[in-house]
Chain A
Amino acid sequence: KQEVTQIPAALSVPEGENLVLNCSFTDSAIYNLQWFRQDPGKGLTSLLLIQSSQREQTSGRLNASLDKSSGRSTLYIAASQPGDSATYLCAVRLDTGRRALTFGSGTRLQVQP
């Protein structure tokens, strides 16, 4: 059974800092990995999707990397802003033909102005 772990569970940083969020998964036979953002009381917003054959994806100040063999992904946020405050979740889809995603519990990020 796929398990997804995110460390740290919570993180508080001053505005302007660069930061890294970590995601690990136990079954490396994945089809893709996605990073999402969730604001309190809201649904999830897709940030980046990395296919299993890719090593990284970038969107603006966000960069996600994937090391499938070691079961790890990182989300790098450059020059953090208070508006980045949210919970960040990673999710993996197994390479089984099934479409279900397995999510981690998320990292709750607070960027202090």
Chain B
Amino acid sequence: DTGVSQDPRHKITKRGQNVTFRCDPISEHNRLYWYRQTLGQGPEFLTYFQNEAQLEKSRLLSDRFSAERPKGSFSTLEIQRTEQGDSAMYLCASSGLLENSPLHFGNGTRLTVT
């Protein structure tokens, strides 16, 4: 069990550019989540996958955001035409299929939009 891995750890981009983040969950976990966290706040839910199916999406996930999990393993989160308000820590988590399986979080990708 190597834990949840996220890449890159940090990303600095200019406003208007597109960025993509990757998450590799714990290998036997079927459920994968994306959250966003700004300084001093708790994480906010973005989206949830069970295997390759995207089952939940938050209203926070505007048209500029898209997430995929094509083979039910790793996931990508893309933000198009980034805005300064997108600056945040993007956290990925995974869990097993049991209903009360705890979430295991990665260390996040910190995005700074200049």
Contact = CB atoms under 8 A, between A and B. Distances in A.
Interface of A: 4, 32, 34, 36, 41-46, 49, 51, 89, 91, 98-106
A100 B45 contact: yes
Given A4-B42, A44-B43, A51-B100, A100 B105 contact: no
Interface string B90-114: 0101000000101111111010000
Contacts of B42: 4, 89, 91, 103-106
Contacts of A42: 107-108
B106 A43 contact: yes
Main SS of chain A's interface residues?
strand
A16 B44 CA distance: 33
B7 to A, nearest CB: 13
A44 B94 CA distance: 12
B56 A34 contact: no
Interface size class of B (residues with CB under 8 A): 20 to 34
B65 to A, nearest CB: 15
A102 B108 CA distance: 18
Contacts of A89: 42-43
A46 B55 CA distance: 23
Nearest to A46: B102
A106 B33 CA distance: 20
Contact of B103 (A4, A46, A104): A46
Q: Which of B40, B103, B105 has the most chain A CB atoms inside 10 A of its CB?
A: B103
Interface in B73-102: 91, 93, 100, 102
